[in-house]
């Protein structure tokens, strides 16, 4: 049980006086990614995405480029399946952008934790690009133990580790595609919801976050069933706001 938390212990950060914070922060972040279960899940998820891309006739370099630039599993699945089944570019763009709204609150809540007064805006572009569910979930767990001046390179190291795993998985999946039994392909795609659900159940220690997650879990599919437009936006605002209000009540009552 100790290994996933090893990277968050203070001694994972050598603090020799001449130790450049950027390089060592990046390395610590990269190493932390190797200790995270999410790295292996990303690998598995991208085996599934690589196989999907192969089946719909996309080339491997295209899959690599979309992994690097889009860097969001659900958006890539949408992009591949909409374009691959002959959907119009406009349909694909709309579906992608709707799925990507979730990235906004994640970036907004992550970047203030990384910043120092000396941080320039362009320093935050790469961390913002790396922000996806996996990085956001792990940052919640790992960042508090990282010295403030190393958080940006640490975040970039973490993101790089995930991206390497995803690219490798994508490549493996692309070549495996033909030989991958459907049950396994389904199992790989099932990794994503399972691991995100369990990670949040483990990491959400505050009542606000637990309530928000519980409400969102029910509201998301429910709103989608009734074909409410922007279902994820509404389930986010509903779950987040209700969770926050209940948290304020409890605080006021104490």
- Residue placing its CB nearer to another protein in the complex, 29 or 204: 204
- Residue placing its CB nearer to another protein in the complex, 72 or 170: 72
User: Shortest distance, CB of residue 172 to another protein, whole angstroms?
Assistant: 16
Cβ neighbours of residue 86 closer than 8 Å, sequence gap 6 or more: none
Residue 94: left if φ>0, alpha if ψ -120 to 50, beta else—which one? Answer: alpha
The dihedral built from the CA positions of residue 129, 133, 135 and 136, taken in this order, carries a sign that is positive
- Residue placing its CB nearer to another protein in the complex, 23 or 218: 218
Report CA 123 to chain centroid distance, whole Å: 20
- Cβ neighbours, 10 Å, residue 47: 27
- Residue placing its CB nearer to another protein in the complex, 90 or 178: 90
- Residue placing its CB nearer to another protein in the complex, 19 or 251: 251
User: Shortest distance, CB of residue 66 to another protein, whole angstroms?
Assistant: 5
Cα–Cα distance list, 70 to 14, 23, 77, 97, 195 (Å): 34, 26, 11, 11, 21
- Cβ–Cβ < 8 Å for 132, 71: yes
| Rounded-to-10 torsion of CA 157, 158, 163, 168 | 100
Which of 136, 143, 162, 152 lies closest to 46, judged by CA?
162
User: Shortest distance, CB of residue 28 to another protein, whole angstroms?
Assistant: 21
User: Shortest distance, CB of residue 11 to another protein, whole angstroms?
Assistant: 24
User: Rounded to 5 degrees, what are φ and ψ at 115?
Assistant: -65, 150
User: Shortest distance, CB of residue 32 to another protein, whole angstroms?
Assistant: 16
- Residue placing its CB nearer to another protein in the complex, 23 or 197: 197
User: Shortest distance, CB of residue 47 to another protein, whole angstroms?
Assistant: 11
């Amino acid at each position: 049980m100790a290994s996933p938390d090893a990277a968050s212990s203070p001694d994972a950060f050598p603090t020799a006086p001449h130790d450049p914070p950027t390089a060592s922060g990046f390395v610590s972040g990269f190493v932390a990614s190797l200790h995270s279960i999410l790295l292996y899940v990303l690998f598995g998820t991208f085996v599934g995405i690589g196989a999907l891309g192969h089946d719909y006739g996309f080339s491997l370099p295209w899959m690599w480029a979309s992994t690097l630039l889009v860097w969001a599993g659900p958006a890539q699945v949408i992009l591949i399946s909409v374009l691959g089944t002959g959907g119009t570019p406009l349909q694909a763009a709309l579906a992608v952008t709707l799925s990507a709204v979730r990235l906004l609150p994640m970036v907004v809540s992550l970047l203030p934790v990384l910043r120092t007064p000396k941080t320039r805006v362009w320093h935050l572009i790469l961390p913002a690009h790396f922000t996806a569910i996996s990085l956001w979930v792990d940052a919640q767990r790992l960042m508090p133990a990282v010295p403030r001046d190393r958080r940006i390179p640490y975040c970039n190291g973490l993101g790089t580790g995930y991206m390497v795993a995803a690219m490798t998985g994508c490549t493996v999946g692309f070549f495996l595609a033909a030989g991958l039994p459907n049950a396994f392909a389904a199992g790989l795609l099932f990794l994503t919801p399972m691991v995100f659900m369990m990670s949040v159940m483990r990491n959400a220690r505050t009542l606000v976050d637990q309530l928000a997650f519980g409400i969102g879990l029910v509201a998301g599919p429910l709103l989608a069933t009734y074909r409410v437009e922007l279902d994820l936006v509404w389930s986010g605002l509903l779950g987040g706001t209700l969770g926050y209000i209940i948290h304020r009540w409890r605080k006021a009552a104490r």
